[in-house]
Amino acid sequence: MNLWILSEEYPRLQTLNTIIKMFLKDNNFSSFIDNIRVIPMLENNSFNFTYKVIGINCNKIKNIFIKIVKGSSSFADYLIFYQNDEPKYSDNPIYAIEETKTDDKESRNTSIYQRAIKFIFIDTYYKNVKK
């Protein structure tokens, strides 16, 4: 199966590394991690807002994809799916992750209340997601 990372923004490599390692550990998957690289995917010579992550070898993960998406309201920084096909609205993520930024320069929503609202909103749609 594939690991899908949906986000409104392109993730930092450090964040990407943390998400992937957390997934591997939580599922007791063995892997070899080399130099993680992210390459854009093209469809008919056009960028389709999907990236492929390379540099990770795990026999339980066929591919790792990052998909840039746009939510119409509050949206966690990352929704993580483990499935073959690109996630649809009706699919349930395995993780909803809110990345903590260090200061107001890096994030527009550093307020604890703004972050908490995102998780309340997520519970409306995805009851069993790990946060």
pLDDT more than 90, % of the chain: 59
Task: Tell me the pLDDT band of 70, cut-offs 50, 70 and 90.
Answer: confident
Q: Is residue 74 part of a domain?
A: yes
**Token code pair at residue 44:** 């008919």
Q: Is residue 46 part of a domain?
A: yes
Structural domains in the chain (count): 1
Q: Examine the pLDDT at 126 and tell me if it is beyond 80.
A: no
Q: What integer pLDDT is reported at residue 84 of this predicted model? A: 98
| Structure confidence by residue, pLDDT tens digits, 35-46 | 999 999 999 999
- pTM beyond 0.85: the answer is no
Q: Is residue 85 part of a domain?
A: yes
Q: Is residue 130 part of a domain?
A: no
Range of the domain at 82: 2-125
